[in-house]
Amino acid sequence: MQSAQQNGSSTLKLILAWGFVGIPLLWGVLQTLSNAMKLFQ
Amino acid sequence: MGLLSFLDREHTVAGPGYNRWLVPPAALCVHLCIGQAYAYSVFNLPMTKLIGITQSAPDDWKLTELGWIFSIAIFFLGVSSAIFGRWVEEGGPRKAMFAAALCWAGGFFISAIGVQVHNLWLIYLGYGVLGGIALGIGYISPVSTLIKWFPDRPGMATGMAIMGFGGGAFIASPLSVWLMSKFSSPTHIGVMETFVVLGVVYLFFMMVGSALVRVPAPGWKPEGFVPPRENKLITKNDVYVYDALKTPQFWLIWWVLCLNVTAGIGVLGQASAMSQEMFPGHITPVAAAGFVGLMSLFNMGGRFVWASTSDYIGRRNTYFVFMVLGFILYCTVPYTGSIGSVVGFVCCFLVIISMYGGGFSTVPAYLKDMFGTRYVGAIHGLLLTAWSMAGIFGPVLVNYIREYNVTHGVPKAQAYNTTMYIMAGLLVIGFICNLLVKAVDARFHMKDNETERAAADVAAVGKPAGA
């Protein structure tokens, strides 16, 4: 039971940590990608 | 001292059940922030109009004066990573990230004051010196920690962090432009406010990274980890940071990195102008801006992909690929220009720039293979002086040779051909340096690792490790 709880909190921490850096990075990549598309216009 | 004891290495040792996949986001928290340096140029033009607002007034700063801010920062990146490398290694990643966060945010705050009172020297001091120190410490701070957490895939682990340095500009560039537009008015340009907001945001992000990071307990290994088979080019010993400087391997890898970066950094800075001059009428300024954006994406992606690939094919072989493939591509670029193939030109440079990024991200694992994990962060710090050197050589080679050709009557479309062949030649030298890299002589290995580690930790931290 305790192990399952530990696993759950560890997964939540992972999602939060990766989201914290991943979301801004993804936003930046999408901004750059939309600018880069001008090469093909 | 007690107040800041949570920063000490012994307070960052991970407890049982800690998930090692929390360490890459901690590293990314720092690298994504300091990667802003690549986007600093978005401030250049607005800072030339702080007084005149719509156009530069006589008392406004010139672009040439502002250009020094970035140069000073990159110079102090190299200097601080070399000087503070051992301190970063022995003090632990949390202390280093914390220090980097304070310096980085402090640099922005001092620069904001500099903008407010219109004193350029304060910006040189703030963003240039303090920010440059943050760049150096922040860049190397998570490297050895990641290598220790991921002994099974060190290339991938460091590739993820160093990818963040390439990606930081993607966030900083649109964010800075948006903030400046929000804080600007018909009588004011919002650079000062933007610096303050960025300083606060970066301080928060980097502090989260600092709180999140952990070092593995001594002797920790990932579950089911089987050490690689006997390989002469992957040492099981450690080399002391300053002993590494006495080995030919350090200097050979220094040149490999320097030449690989020189080949990439020159074209990265001139990509827009070069593409327009080589394909007049075909590549417009707008399309060239898109090309530069695409190159930045490949620069970032290459950092992860090539470093991860090196875990499978080996570090030395990865650099052989960079040198051989780079040579072929640089020799092909003039041909793409002569037949007017924009697609060929773009593809060549996208691969070249991915290998430029890959060179940065693969080198920490290469150093770990050669010199062991104990001082890899500090040795990496010393190696970054190759970056500073390449930062001078690369653009000079591209700009001056183009200028020389144009003034001697070579058409602009062909003015870069000589440079491309010189870059290809540099990669041949890099290939030879890489070929000469052999295992480090046993006399450089630390004799009694445990004793020396304890002594070093006492010297750096002031008390025995684990006390």
List pLDDT tens digits, range B401-456: 888 888 888 887 888 888 899 899 999 999 999 999 999 999 999 986 554 554 55
Q: Is B325 exposed, middle or buried (0-12, 13-18, 19+ CB in 10 A)?
A: middle
H or E element in which residue B370 lies? helix B342-371
8 A C-beta contact, residue B134 and residue B103: yes
- For chain B, what percent of residues have pLDDT higher than 90? 61
Give residue B20's pLDDT band: very low, low, confident or very high (50, 70, 90).
very high
What confidence score (pLDDT) does residue B449 get? 54
Q: What is the pTM of this model?
A: 0.88
Q: Do B19 and A10 touch (CB under 8 A)?
A: yes
Phi, psi of B215 (to 5 degrees): -105, 150
* Interface with chain B: mutation pick from A30, A31, A39, highest number of B CBs within 10 Å: A39
Query: CB–CB of B235/B439 below 8 Å?
Result: yes
Q: Which residues from chain A sit within 8 angstroms of residue B173, using beta carbons?
A: 28, 31-32
Q: What is the mean pLDDT of residues B264-284?
A: 82
User: Which of B12, B251, B247, B233 has its CA nearest to residue B142?
Assistant: B12
pLDDT at B34: 96
Q: What is the mean pLDDT of residues B129-151?
A: 93
| Cβ pair B287:A35 closer than 8 A | no
Confidence of residue B463 (pLDDT cuts 50, 70, 90): very low
Is residue B257 very low, low, confident or very high in pLDDT (cuts 50, 70, 90)? very high
Summarize pLDDT for B63-118 with one digit per residue, the tens.
Answer: 888 888 988 898 899 899 999 998 998 899 999 999 999 999 999 999 999 999 99
Q: What is the pLDDT of residue A3?
A: 64
The stretch B376-388 carries a mean pLDDT of: 90
Say how far apart CA A21 and CA B30 lie, in whole Å.
10
Q: Which of B21, B167, B289 sits opposite A38 (nearest CB)?
A: B289
Among B136, B128, B132, smallest CA distance to B96 is for: B136
Ramachandran angles phi, psi of B227, nearest 5°: -55, 145
Helix or strand or coil: residue B447?
Answer: coil
More confident residue, B38 or B14: B14
Checking if the pLDDT of A41 tops 80, the result is no
Read off the DSSP letter of residue B7.
Answer: G
Q: Does A26 touch chain B (CB under 8 A)?
A: no
pLDDT, average across residues B213-221: 91
Q: Which of A4-8, A33-37, B165-169 has the lowest mean pLDDT?
A: A4-8
- Give the pLDDT of residue B448: 65
What's the pLDDT tens digit per position in B223-248?
A: 888 877 778 888 888 999 999 999 99
The pLDDT of A19-32, averaged and rounded, is 94
| pLDDT at residue B334 tops 80 | yes
pLDDT, tens digit, 9 for 90 and up, residues B311-333: 999 999 999 999 999 999 999 99
Question: How far B324 CA sits from the closest chain A CA (Å)?
Answer: 28
On average, the pLDDT of chain B sits at 89
